[in-house]
Amino acid sequence: MKTSIALTFLATLVSQVSVVLGVPEWGQCNGIGYTGSKTCDSGLTCVYINDWYSQCQKGSGNPPTSSTRPPTSSSSQPPTQTGGTNLPSSFRWNSSGALVGPKNDSRNIKGIKDPSIVYYNGKYHVFASTAVASGYNLVYFSFTDFNQANSATFYYLDQTPIGSGYRAAPQVFFFAPQNRWYLIYQNGNAAYSTNSDISNPSGWTAGRNFYSGTPSIITQNIGNGYWVDMWVICDSANCYLFSSDDNGHLYRSQTTLANFPNGMGNTVIALSAPNKNDLFEASNVYKVGNQYLLIVECIGSNGRYFRSWRSSSLTGSWTALAATEANPFAGKNNVNFPGGRWTNDISHGEAIRTQVDQTMSISGCIRYLYQGLAPGSSGDYNSLPLAPRSSHSDKLLSAYVLSITSRFIDMIPFIQSYSKELPVNFNI
């Protein structure tokens, strides 16, 4: 039996997906090493973000074919964002149908999970976990238009130097200081592979571990949980690795930007909850203006959902934002399904960033790719139960829509239902 997972897209962007006339809104249109189209869709302007990245944003008139670098005058700079005023305290979402189905190949994949996505050189690049009876590994595919996602070729990364064996929960980003792409994933430790070309899946190096072993603070607090879901983000001086333990703790390690990926240490508990289900796994940390947004997957009475926090610093304290099941960042209570609800669970995923680099920057328009479990499924999450048949039950990806009151913040979730044939000892 096959899995269903959904990738969702903003309603305001749907009209741009069907016909590609240029780079869509929030897509990359220039930067060092960029070889894709520099022409934005009608009504969009290619706006300079940094030397590595320019993106198409809404503007007036015909968009230029080259980047528009912001003036250096202080009067032209955006106002300083403080106190989280550019992040809302409540969110509302709409979900569309599925886009990508499982491949009928010899792999017999039961589920595709834990997506990481970037838009670069005119393509969406997706990395995800593959769930099969023999264990987890990774897959890569790319497409230029979400209408083409279902026909995208799967490239299984166990064919690369990454190798076979347990590999799961990827995160991809461009590390600008080294001019290389990094793929972060769990392998029992926290691992990374690198590549000079994200579009060349065979170019990934063999994995290397960040740590010589599990940090002692994690072994002391993990209980019966699992060390999972590594996430890297850097500021101007340091790089930080966040991880979870399925036991109510969010950990943070760090090294200097110059020393990355070496020297990861000084591991501390960044956030904790008395009830492990209130701070479970799948953390994301993003830079939004001059502040940071943290989301963590939780388990509630109505299924999986995300809580959120904000902070002015990656090492600072986290202030609750939309952080309850009644008022989640994304969950059953604030996700609408115009075509009919097919998941109560809003689970592990990633935002499409405005910059593909190590800063994990997103704009006021958030598009998020997530996984979910179809209604009517039963059994433990890790046993991957089979969902009842529906119009989405054979799909792996769908386009997801999000909007919030008084703010234009959109997200793209990644939703799935699983086959019950997988053993219960798979931990993601």
Residue 59 pLDDT exceeds 60? no
Q: What span, in angstroms and rounded, lies between the C-alpha atoms of 63 and 208?
A: 43
Q: What span, in angstroms and rounded, lies between the C-alpha atoms of 129 and 282?
A: 13
Express each pLDDT in 337-358 by its tens digit.
877 887 888 899 999 999 999 9
| Yes or no: domain 88-403 corresponds to CATH 3.40.50.11540 | no
Cis peptide before 261, with omega less than 30 degrees from 0? Answer: yes
Between 334 and 412, whose confidence is greater? 334
pLDDT cut 70: percent of the chain above it? 71
Work out the pLDDT band at 77, boundaries 50, 70, 90.
very low
Residue 68 pLDDT exceeds 60? no
Work out the pLDDT band at 34, boundaries 50, 70, 90.
low
Cβ burial, residue 394 (10 Å; 0-12/13-18/19+):
middle
Express each pLDDT in 271-292 by its tens digit.
999 999 999 999 999 999 999 9
Q: What is the pLDDT of residue 18?
A: 25
DSSP state of 177: G
Q: What do you get for the CA distance between the two ends of the chain, in Å? A: 20
Q: To the nearest whole number, what is the mean pLDDT of the chain?
A: 77
Residue 235 pLDDT exceeds 80? yes
Residues in the chain: 428
The closest of 147, 239, 222 to 188, measured between CA atoms, is 222
Cβ burial, residue 427 (10 Å; 0-12/13-18/19+):
middle
Indicate the domain borders of the chain.
13-72, 88-403
Tokens representing 142 are 């790319």
- Tally of CB atoms within 10 A around 73: 7
Express each pLDDT in 87-130 by its tens digit.
888 888 777 656 666 777 888 887 788 999 999 999 999 999 98
Contact 348, 371 (CB under 8 A): yes
Q: What is the pLDDT of residue 399?
A: 34
Handedness of CA 384, 151, 355, 328 (dihedral sign): negative
List beta partners, residue 68.
47
Instruction: Tell me the pTM.
Output: 0.74
The closest of 130, 90, 88, 123 to 106, measured between CA atoms, is 130
Q: What is the pLDDT of residue 96?
A: 60
Contact 199, 123 (CB under 8 A): yes
Residue 294 pLDDT exceeds 50? yes
Q: What span, in angstroms and rounded, lies between the C-alpha atoms of 244 and 279?
A: 8
DSSP state of 56: E
Cβ burial, residue 406 (10 Å; 0-12/13-18/19+):
exposed
Q: Compute φ and ψ for 375, nearest 5 degrees.
A: -60, 145
Residue 234 pLDDT exceeds 80? yes
Between 396 and 333, whose confidence is greater? 333
Residue 360 pLDDT exceeds 80? yes
- SS3 of residue 159 by DSSP: helix
